[in-house]
Amino acid sequence: MALLNPKNTQRTVVMGKINSLWGIDKFHGDVIPKFSLKVDVAIVHVANVPLMHPHEPNDQVVVGDVVGISALWN
């Protein structure tokens, strides 16, 4: 799946695979918020785009921080 920059929806920033759904699965111990998906990030095209749901304790603030792991996306 292609994830788009929320400020410029014509720009693909990440390619990944949906891993989990909201309301059912957890992300960092919390239930995934409504209308969000947990995505396994495979390829990052624009590394400095902020994550929609940053996780500061793990220093995950921009998409470049989560290559090869997961992120939440609306």
Q: What is the pLDDT of residue 42?
A: 92
Which distant-in-sequence residues (6+ apart) come within 8 Å of 1 by Cβ?
15, 16, 17, 18, 39
Residue-wise pLDDT for 22-48, tens only, equals: 888 888 888 888 888 889 999 998 888
**pLDDT, the chain, mean:** 85
Residue 72 binned pLDDT confidence (cut-offs 50, 70, 90): confident
Buried b / exposed e along 45-54 (16+ C-beta atoms within 10 A): eeeebebebb
Give the residue, 45 or 5, on which the prediction is more confident: 45
Residue of higher predicted confidence among 7 and 70: 70
Domain range annotation of the chain: 2-73
